[in-house]
Amino acid sequence: MAALKSSGVFSQEVIRQIQTKAATGLYEIRGFGTLRERRWATFDDLTFLPCSLTRIPLEGYREKCSTRTVLGTRFAKRPVQLDIPIMITGMSWGALSYNAKVALAKGAAEVGSSNTTGDGGMLSAERKNSRTLIYEVLPSRYGINIHHMRMADAIELTIGQGAKPGTGGLLLGSKVSDEIAKQRELPIGVDQRSPARHPDFLGPDDMIIKVEELREATDWEVPIFIKMGATRVYDDVKLAAKAGADVIVVDGMEGGTGASPSIFQEHTGIPTLAAVCEARQALQDIGLYGEVQLIIAGGIRDGVDAAKSIALGADACYIGTAALIGLNCNRPIYEEDYRALGAAPGACHHCHTGRCPVGIATQDADLMQRLDIDEAAERTRNLLHVMTLEIQMIARSCGKSDVHHLEPEDLVALTIEASATSGLPLAGTRRVFGR
């Protein structure tokens, strides 16, 4: 008798999806980010070439390796100055609980890093607990407030997001609590859909004017970031630079989200590795590499991913999902509540439900109390600290006294695909595939 075998085309998961659509008439909305097995070239397909005879390493615990990071040197009077090159990306108060937002701000401040407001305006406690706060201006403009903007250390004009480029944000009704509805000027409990594009400019030509508006509103004091989901990165980066960005943020397809149709998370955008390589090439080709700083985001997990990004051309990295995991996301506690959601620790992507078992992606007061702000801030601090140490360890082993001295020559590719994507030679050869 032949062994039972499921289809490679109509897998158990595909069958579940089809039958759910047929039963409900609804497409799937969920949080977290792509769940696909990564078969494309990633940072894991690159390896560093530390020093041996051709280069001299630095002593791990004795010789300094600077992590100081300066962003926005092109036009702003007051560039952002950070102690480390890892920053907390924009995640809204609404998608996240008050406790999570404040904890991220406190933890980032302790290690001299930044956090970002997100698609819901600024929380006073977030500003109070931040050392460096980046104020996002999104198509929705929820809670937009000129006074808050002028309290910020940088303005980020968001065009798109890596997990769902080309579409707007979502906040399902379970999270549109009294407070969030008031902050966003929405009816309580409505499923909030954000517009996909800004209401007052269309493309790069008039985005130049938008950037000037934000500079005028802040007296040219603070840098203007332009953030985009990674799609046609080479062209988009050139256009953003032309529009006057001080800093460009490119968010790859491995980036996370609080809620979006799952098809966007699984089938749109390009990987973060490809994005950083295209972005660097674009800036080099227009002579602005180094003048316009580059932040890379999208599935950055540890200091090694960050070090590889920096070696390939980034000035800094954003983390989002990793920061939430550091807070306790997917930790095996309150397991019965994971089960009630149809999830499990390590396999929970139910941020959209508002029933986050660990108090991060919720507006429920009881659930939120499970996240102690001070303890969570300490974990954020520790995570950012360790990631920075990891970057430093790699940099020292490559002979660099500054993490920003890491360069493509410090890396090789482990697969032909990674070589073609990154423009790095395949390990053991001097050949770059696809070039």
Contact residues for another protein, defined by CB under 8 A: 24-26, 29, 139-142, 144-147, 149-150, 172-173, 184-187, 189-191, 193, 195, 199-201, 206, 209-210, 212-213, 216-220
* Helices within 111-256 (DSSP H only): 124-129, 146-151, 178-184, 204-217, 233-242
Give min distance, CB of 185 to another protein, in A. Answer: 4
What is the distance of C-alpha 367 from the center of its chain?
25
* Nearest distance, CB of residue 70 and another protein, angstroms: 24
The count of other CB atoms within 10 Å of the CB of residue 202 is: 10
> Looking at beta carbons only, is 55 or 242 nearer to another protein?
242
- For another protein, which is the closer residue by CB, 173 or 345? 173
Closer by beta carbon to another protein, 206 or else 291? 206
Quote the least distance from Cβ 287 to another protein, whole Å: 25
Nearer to another protein, 17 or 382 (CB): 17
For 132, phi then psi, to 5°, come to: -130, 120
Report the DSSP beta bridge partners of residue 192: 171
Nearest CB to another protein, comparing residues 193 and 431: 193
Which C-beta is closer to another protein: that of 183 or that of 321? 183
391-401: b (≥16 Cβ within 10 Å) or e: bbbbbbbbbbe
Of residues 314 and 361, the one with the C-beta less far from another protein: 361
- C-alpha R_g of the chain: 21
Q: Which long-range contacts (CB under 8 A, 24 or more apart) does 48-56 make?
A: 48/307, 48/308, 48/311, 48/394, 48/397, 48/398, 48/410, 48/411, 49/398, 49/409, 49/410, 49/411, 49/412, 50/394, 50/397, 50/398, 50/399, 51/397, 51/398, 51/399, 55/398, 55/399, 56/399
| Shortest Å, Cβ 280 to another protein | 31
Alpha-carbon distance of 324 to 335, in angstroms, equals 17
The distance of closest approach from Cβ of residue 259 to another protein in the complex, given in angstroms and rounded to an integer, is: 10
Q: How far is the CB of 396 from another protein (least distance, A)?
A: 44
Minimum distance, C-beta of residue 197 to another protein, in the bound complex (Å): 10
381 within 8 A of 117, measured Cβ to Cβ? no
